Amino acid sequence: MPIFKLQLPTELIHRIINYLSMDEESLRTASLTSHRFRDICQQLLFSGLHLQRPWSSDPESNLPGTKLLSLLQGSPRIAGYIREVSMDGGYTDDEEESWMALDMCLSPALGLIPTNNIKRLAVLHVRWEDLPSALQQAISAFFQSSSLVSLDISEVPLQLLDLCGPSLNQLHTYTLTDHKEACSPPATNSTPTSGFDLHTLTLRSSTAGPPRPEISYLLDDSSKARITSLRKLRLMFSDKTHYHAAQALISAAASTLQSILVAQSISRDDDTLMDLSGLLKLQRVSTRGLVTELDHPSIAMAKLIGPLSASIPLEHIHICACYRSTPTWNSEPWLSLDSLITDNHKHQFQTLKVVEIEIVSSHGVGEELVARVEDALTYIKGAGLLNIRLNTGSKGMHIGEPF
């Protein structure tokens, strides 16, 4: 009896595996099915490398670098699959030293990864000056990846940005330092000859103050970063008084900025956080914040969009209201927003298409809150603009999460 051998086309195999891309367990199972599935599945399974503080009673005996070095030395091909590297040093005011400063195997392990393959890089919660020079050099090499598109960094020298090449267009920062004051310059083999044009920028700040070093760097004509093509800006500051520091940045990107998020609630008595009236291409404004007795993200929204002229093509308003405790209902902020749209929809906001409201609550009253907000937004709902939803998950409670 003849034996027929079925050979699936490579394109079909890729289509099958792509359907499983979000299901890690299915990918692992499929990788064991045949050698043709193995490589494709493993490329997805090992595309992201996420390193964080080991959660054990004796973390020094269970450091990530030891396991990573053993894995990459035993299976060298895996290093070539990695496209994303995320390192969370776990450093806080309560931690005397980051695990990364203790992990002697981490730098040789990172050195086995082809740096130019890395498209996304995150280096978070580290004290750069505490890291061994070999680890500083290994991390610095990823900043120089010719494929790097997205960079998320916190508490590292902002001068590391000078290592990035022209592929970088998404930057997210939190409380960067100046290496001239904090430590010696990062070790590096070469420096790219050209800068990079940012399309997306996220600036986050601590209670210490607004991110002035980052803003100064971005506005400096001699820096590698250029914001003349910036389209999306996310501002997530810990204090409402910090936002005025970003006005110069907004003005510098006025001709290209299309979308802005402000993670802040304010009260009626607060000043407007910033002036958006010069953003000629602004299409989307988002506010995200906690609802308190006085502060509300819809008040912040009304003060941001109130001064906009009819020539600004605003299409999308997004408000995320986070109720972290059983709320005392106050309809006034929502009624005021509805009144603003009612009075100005046909002229000032004639391009408006969507008013998106996200109610975040995990206290069993979410459905009631949604109903009350709908009742308050009479005109917005009647005009077919309202898109309202309830978020009861813990992820939604993080007010700094970008849209």
The answer to the question of residue 192 being in a domain is: no
Please say if the pLDDT value at position 400 is more than 50: no
Q: Phi and psi dihedrals of 213, rounded to 5?
A: -60, -40
What's the mean pLDDT in 121-131?
Answer: 92
Residue 290 · residue 399 · CB < 8 Å = yes
| Cβ–Cβ < 8 Å for 297, 274 | no
Q: What is the mean pLDDT of the chain?
A: 86
What is the band of 155 on the pLDDT scale with cuts at 50, 70, 90? confident
pLDDT at 401 > cutoff 50: no
pLDDT digits (tens, 9 = 90+) for 199-228: 999 999 887 788 899 999 999 999 999 999
Q: Are 128 and 153 in contact (CB under 8 A)?
A: no
Predicted confidence at residue 183, as pLDDT, reads 45
**Helices 332-344 & 366-376 angle (0-180, nearest 10):** 40
The tokens for 34 are 């045949």
Residue 323's pLDDT is 87
Could you tell me the residue range of the domain that residue 325 belongs to? 257-403
Note the pLDDT of residue 90: 83
Answer whether residue 248 shows pLDDT above 80: yes
The answer to whether position 126 is within a domain reads no
Task: Give the model confidence (pLDDT) of 256-291 as tens digits.
Answer: 999 999 999 999 999 889 999 999 999 999 999 999
Q: Starting at the edge strand that comes first in sequence, how are the strands of the sheet with 200-204 ordered?
A: 48-51, 84-88, 120-124, 150-154, 170-174, 200-204, 232-236, 259-262, 284-290, 316-323, 354-361, 386-391
Whole-number pLDDT of residue 329:
83
How many percent of the chain have pLDDT more than 70? 80
pLDDT at 14 over 70: no
- CA 376, 380, 383, 388 torsion: positive or negative? negative
Q: Is the pLDDT of residue 308 over 60?
A: yes
**pLDDT number for residue 345:** 93
Q: Three-class SS string for the chain?
A: CCCCCCCCCHHHHHHHHHHCCCCHHHHHHHHCCCHHHHHHHHHHHCCEEEECCCCCCCHHHCCHHHHHHHHHHHCHHHHHHCCEEEEECCCCCCCCCCHHHHCCCHHHHHCCCCHHHCCEEEEECCCHHHCCHHHHHHHHHHHCCCCCCEEEEECCEHHHHHHCCCCCCEEEEECCECHHHHCCCCCCCCCCCCCEECCEEEEECECCECCHHHHHHHHCCCCCEECCCCCEEEEECCCHHHHHHHHHHHHHCCCCCCEEEECCCECCCCCCCCCCCCCCCCCEEEEEEECCCCCEHHHHHHHHHCCCCCCCCCCEEEEEEEECCCCCCCCHHHHHHHHHHHHHCCCCCCCCCEEEEEEEECCCCHHHHHHHHHHHCHHHHHCCCEEEEEECCHHHHCCCCCC
Q: With 70 as the cut, is the pLDDT of residue 241 above it?
A: yes
Alpha carbon 327 to its chain centroid, in Å, reads 29
**For residue 21, what pLDDT band results from cuts at 50, 70 and 90?**
low
Can you give the pTM of this predicted structure? 0.87
User: Around Cβ 34, how many Cβ atoms within 10 Å?
Assistant: 10
Confidence grade of residue 4 (pLDDT, cut at 50, 70, 90): very low
Report the pLDDT value the prediction gives residue 127, as an integer from 0 to 100: 87
Distance CA 165, CA 224 (A): 8
Q: What is the pLDDT of residue 110?
A: 98
**Residue 172 has what pLDDT?**
97
**Is residue 398 included in any domain, yes or no?**
yes
Asked whether residue 311 is domain-assigned, the answer is yes
Q: How far apart are CA 321 and CA 300, in angstroms?
A: 11
Say which residues have a Cβ less than 8 Å from residue 17's Cβ, sequence separation at least 6. 27, 30, 37, 40, 41, 44
Express each pLDDT in 173-200 by its tens digit: 998 887 654 444 455 555 545 899 999 9
pLDDT value, residue 210 = 86
User: In degrees rounded to 5, what are phi and psi of residue 98?
Assistant: -75, 145
> pLDDT tens digit string along 132-144?
999 999 999 999 9
The confidence score (pLDDT) of residue 140 equals 96
Is residue 44 situated within a structural domain?
A: no
Instruction: Decide if pLDDT at 298 tops 70.
Output: yes
CA 402 to chain centre: 5
Give the model's confidence band at 254: pLDDT under 50 very low, under 70 low, under 90 confident, else very high.
Answer: very high
* pLDDT of amino acid 137: 96
The answer to whether residues 240 and 264 touch, using CB atoms and an 8 Å cutoff, is yes
Q: What is the pLDDT of residue 396?
A: 45
Kindly report the backbone phi and psi dihedral angles of residue 66, in degrees, each rounded to the nearest multiple of 5, phi listed first.
-65, -45
The total domain count for the chain is 1
Residue 366 lies in a domain: yes
Whole-number pLDDT of residue 257: 98
Sign of CA dihedral 329, 333, 334, 336: positive
252 falls within a domain: no
pLDDT digits (tens, 9 = 90+) for 353-388: 999 999 998 777 789 999 999 999 999 999 999 999
2 in any annotated domain: no
Type of residue found at 178: D
pLDDT range class, residue 402, cuts 50, 70, 90: very low
pLDDT of amino acid 397: 42
pLDDT in tens, 23-57: 566 656 656 566 666 677 677 777 889 999 877 65
**pLDDT of res. 54:** 76
